[in-house]
């Protein structure tokens, strides 16, 4: 997993609440057996018109927003389906950070596996970030747990284990396999009714 420490980037605001993973990546794109290539389908139904042309009114299509790496959104971002394709699509499009009011538990976990940092900040802070110009950058400092926008600094909370994981880009399975003996011990102590 790609590590994140200090990141500076431009933003895209999508301030609706309850943006579900069906919107982030519609089901017709879940048939693939790879982890990559989902960025071109990110927010597909909002991003493209019925005839397949990009919807010029949708913010992701605006030329001045290209290259943005930070998504600003509402409450309960990533609710609904557990599809990790949502995190893959955000990452593949170029997003490294999401700043929302809250997240669904499953989407949050999926972000922690893919180096997409989910930050929680109050509405007031997010509204200020949503109002900045497309070329203006904000700075996320994960070690310090701060987001800096227009010389204002906002502190955010994150569990220390997930924080370490983002900073080091650790692979979970390698870590867990170090506990193999403990897992075997646990299995040997389990009740069996077969």
* CA–CA distance, 140 with 69 (Å, rounded to integer): 11
Among 34, 63, 133, 143, binds another protein (CB under 8 A): 34
Residue 57 found at the interface with another protein (CB under 8 A): no
- The alpha-helical segments, DSSP class H, found in the chain are 21-24, 44-47, 85-93, 105-112, 123-130, 160-168, 172-177, 180-188
Q: Which stretch binds another protein (CB under 8 A): 15-23, 57-65, 121-129, 150-158?
A: 15-23
Binding of another protein at residue 187 (CB under 8 A)?
yes
Nearest to 47 by CA among 18, 77, 26: 26
Q: Which residue has the tokens 């904000």?
A: 138
Residue 82 binding another protein, by CB under 8 A: yes
Residue 129 region by backbone torsions, left for phi larger than 0, else alpha for psi between -120 and 50, else beta: alpha
User: Residue 134 CB, nearest distance to another protein (Å)?
Assistant: 21
Q: How far is CA 177 from CA 24, 111, 172, in A?
A: 33, 21, 9
Q: Which residues 119-178 are close enough to bind another protein by CB under 8 A?
A: 159-162, 172-173, 176-177
Q: Name the residue nearer to another protein (CB basis): 10 or 165.
A: 165
61-80 binders of another protein (CB under 8 A): 75-76, 79-80
Among 104, 140, 149, 166, binds another protein (CB under 8 A): 104
Give residue 125's Cα distance to chain centre.
Answer: 18
Distance CA 125, CA 4 (A): 22
Chain residues binding another protein by CB under 8 A are: 15-18, 20, 22-23, 26-28, 30-35, 45, 75-76, 79-85, 87, 102-106, 109-110, 113-114, 159-162, 172-173, 176-177, 179-180, 182-183, 186-187, 190-191, 193-194
């Amino acid at each position: 997993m790609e590590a994140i420490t200090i990141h500076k980037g431009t933003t895209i605001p999508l301030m609706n609440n309850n943006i579900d993973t069906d919107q982030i990546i519609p089901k017709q794109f879940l048939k693939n057996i790879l982890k990559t290539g989902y960025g071109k389908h990110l927010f597909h139904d909002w991003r493209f018109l019925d005839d397949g042309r990009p919807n010029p009114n949708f913010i992701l299509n605006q030329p001045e927003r290209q290259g943005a790496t930070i998504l600003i959104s509402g409450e309960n971002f990533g609710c609904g389906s557990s599809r990790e394709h949502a995190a893959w699509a955000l990452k593949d499009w170029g997003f490294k950070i999401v700043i929302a009011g809250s997240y669904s538990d499953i989407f949050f976990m999926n972000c922690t596996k893919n180096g997409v940092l989910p930050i929680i900040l109050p509405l007031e802070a997010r509204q200020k970030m949503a109002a900045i110009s497309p070329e203006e950058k904000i700075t996320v400092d994960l070690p310090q747990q701060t987001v800096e926008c227009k010389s204002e600094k906002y502190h955010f909370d994150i569990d220390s284990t997930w924080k370490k994981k983002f900073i080091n880009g650790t692979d979970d399975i390698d870590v867990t396999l170090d506990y193999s003996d403990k897992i075997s011990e646990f299995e040997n102590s389990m009740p069996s009714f077969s």
